[in-house]
Amino acid sequence: MTMSDLSRRSVIAGGIAAAAAGAAAGSARAASSSSPAVLAGENGWVTSTMARMTLEEKVGQLFIQNVYGKDATTPDSRNLPLYGVASPAEVVQKYHLGGIIYFAWTDSVQNPDQIVGLSNGLQKAALTQQSKVRIPLQVATDQEQGVVTRIGPPATQFPGSMALGAGRSAPDARTAAAITGRELLAMGVNTNFAPDCDVNVNPLNPVIGTRSFSSRPELAAQLAAAQVAGYQRDGGVASSAKHFPGHGDTATDSHVAFPVITHTREQWEAIDAPPFRAAIKEQIDMIMTAHLSFPALDDSGNPATLSKPILTGVLRGELGYEGVIVTDSLAMQGVRDLYGDAEVAVRALMAGVDQLLMTPAMDEAYAAVIEAARSGRIAPDELDAKVRRVLGLKYRRGIVARPYADPAAVASVVGTPAHLASATAVTDRTTTLVKNDAKALPIAPNGKKVLVTGYGVSTTATLAAGLTSKGATVQTMQTGTSPTDAQVAAAVAAAADKDVVVVTTMKAWDTSVTDKRGGQQKLVKQLLSTGRTVVVVAVRDPYDIAYFTDAPTYVATYSYSPVAIEAAARVIVGDVAPTASLPVDIPVAGAPETVLYPFGHGLTY
């Protein structure tokens, strides 16, 4: 399902002017804020380094890969089938890698001390290999915050992009990025694949959703620019706008299939382009491609990641972007349907990409790119331009001058009381009270019997703790993303003697993937039938209310991060008056052209 024509027109009306105003500013990259001396140093280092590089070393700089293991030198058998060597350090040295990306499932992000140790160990591997050049790594992760958070507590948590959109504050968005960037850098992570610049105009979008700031391009652009400044200027890390040319209007997940965006060129200019233009104006270091077809920009059927018309024609030529273009993960199905993994790597580079992220066939892809360079399929000057952009980013971002993080300084930066206080203050300004028809909120919890049920072990526990601290007697009954009939019945029975029921929902609208049995919707409806005071808290997408419109009390947090749930508890008991408003339209269930609650709606006490 794509966005309705009516909804498109409403967005275009507000977006055409912004797109026109931004066109001139975004048509060429803003003048560098670097001094002539800094630029001369960058050019000198890049030129002298490239003069000593072999072809294999140049090609290696174009790859960012995931590696398994909590430290750099301990062998991990999971690396063997991917790379033929066992330790992360050996992977770096075998391919002269340009970068490494961290995930929880690779055991890369267990705690701050472990992360800084791994980061420094990987940098040592890059800087001590047998070579004429010593080039440090980009050490990257996806710390978007909210639903895409790779490094958890004690690192400071924020509720994510759509929550910031609800708060409407560019300074808050910049603060969140600045703190996130500073903490990443303290752990040796110098590159963050954020912010998400997609404009989520499709409420059924399964892959973007609350990762987007808003369904309005002008708000998304304003907050994206603020976050680029926060990450790069304040936080000192490289940032990456994603997913170009725009992933906001699809009901298909590009991790498992191949989405097609049906926007016209006019709609792309008005809806999808403004956040990317704003990021380019802020001198974004990197832009990440999307694995989707966008026929209005390229009707070949190729994904944008492999599209020269989109990457070289539109992004480079029309938008004037001069920084690094990086692919989304090449292990995603959306880019693997048409060509083999080795050919995908070559075609992406030929299309205009500079760096290849997470190829699932490293030996084959590495060899294919080297052969393409030797044969002239990738011209020598094109290869050198890509390497120059990658090395220039490393120099400008301070990675060359300061490749190592200080282990002794981690505790004084990561999760400090000041950072946590800032996160609390920002998050308190993002909780949205959508519906309070029965005037049930705020509740006076002291002496009340409360049932907290619904999605999430930690989510329900965090909410229960907040209510307990205010004097409520709380029973917790977690029912997950797809409650069974037995779980629903147990929750209804538990509600019988309670004064208040708080039920958390998480993508209750999604009965295709998240909740195939529709258990969350059943849970809410049957709890409402008990006659108890029921407070529904949507802890991810705000769209759930459309599927149980009889609920008289509804709060949206846009995230199940503990910081967001703690803020919701403060709103429920009245310690904090809600001030945020919806950053998207909530449409009627099954009728996306009809708005149930409009952008900008929000209540307070």
Give the residue-averaged pLDDT of 383-388.
Answer: 98
**Which residues have a catalytic role annotated?**
255, 328
User: Residue 2: is its pLDDT beyond 70?
Assistant: no
Residue 585 and residue 563: Cα distance in Å, rounded? 24
Residue 72 and residue 277: Cα distance in Å, rounded? 38
Give the residue-averaged pLDDT of 538-542.
Answer: 98
Q: Which residues contact 206 (CB under 8 A, 6 or more apart)?
A: 251, 252, 253, 510, 512, 513
For CA atoms 48, 53, 59, 62, the dihedral sign is negative
CA distances from 490 to 350, 369, 526, 537, 568 (A): 58, 59, 11, 19, 25
Each as own residue / partner, the long-range contacts of residues 524-528 (CB below 8 Å, 24 or more positions apart, any chain) are 524/548, 524/551, 525/550, 526/488, 526/491, 526/492, 527/453, 527/491, 527/492, 527/495, 527/501, 527/503
Give the residue-averaged pLDDT of 497-522.
Answer: 96
What is the helix (H) or strand (E) element at residue 426, kind and residue range? Answer: helix 417-428
CB atoms within 10 A of CB 484: 13
Is the bond into 154 cis (omega within 30 degrees of 0)?
Answer: yes
Give the residue-averaged pLDDT of 263-273.
Answer: 97
Task: Spell 162-188 as b/e; 16+ CB within 10 A means b.
Answer: bbbbbbbbbebbbbbbbbbbbbbbbbb
First to last CA, the chain: 37
Q: Which residues pair with 54 in a beta bridge?
A: none
CB atoms within 10 A of CB 105: 10
- Location of structure tokens 């307070």: 604
User: Residue 406: is its pLDDT beyond 50?
Assistant: yes
Quote the mean pLDDT of the chain: 93
Residue 263 tokens read as 């926007």
- Location of structure tokens 């978007």: 144
Residue 473 and residue 518: Cα distance in Å, rounded? 30
> Strand 148-149 and strand 143-145: pairing?
antiparallel
* Residue type at position 81: P
Q: Which residues contact 87 (CB under 8 A, 6 or more apart)?
A: 69, 72, 73, 74, 75, 76, 79
pLDDT at 336: 86
In the 8-state DSSP scheme, what is residue 314?
I
- At residue 416, the 3 state secondary structure works out as coil
CB atoms within 10 A of CB 220: 31
Describe the strand order of the beta sheet including 500-505 as a list of residue ranges. Answer: 432-436, 553-556, 533-538, 500-505, 449-454, 473-478
Task: Summarize pLDDT for 32-67 with one digit per residue, the tens.
Answer: 446 677 778 889 999 999 999 999 999 999 999 999
> Strand 324-326 and strand 286-289: pairing?
parallel
**How many Cα atoms sit within 13 Å of 100 on the Cβ side?**
34
User: Residue 257: is its pLDDT beyond 50?
Assistant: yes
Give the residue-averaged pLDDT of 114-121.
Answer: 98
Could you tell me the pLDDT band of residue 129, with boundaries at 50, 70 and 90? confident
Residue 9 tokens read as 């027109």
In 3D, which of 241, 176, 211, 202 has the Cα closest to residue 26? Answer: 241
Could you tell me the pLDDT band of residue 5, with boundaries at 50, 70 and 90? very low
Residue 415 and residue 423: Cα distance in Å, rounded? 10
Residue 529 tokens read as 């039938």
Residue 290 and residue 302: Cα distance in Å, rounded? 11
HEC secondary structure over 225-240: HHHHHHHHHHHCCEEE
Determine if residue 241 is left, alpha or beta; phi over 0 gives left, psi from -120 to 50 gives alpha, anything else beta. Answer: beta
- Scanning 52-100, the segments in alpha helix (DSSP H) are 55-60, 80-83, 88-95
User: Residue 200: is its pLDDT beyond 80?
Assistant: yes
Give the residue-averaged pLDDT of 486-493.
Answer: 98
| Residues present in the chain in total | 605
Give the residue-averaged pLDDT of 230-237.
Answer: 98
Give the residue-averaged pLDDT of 225-241.
Answer: 98
Contact 197, 161 (CB under 8 A): no
Considering the entire predicted model, what is its pTM? 0.93
Backbone φ, ψ for residue 395 (5° rounding):
-70, -50
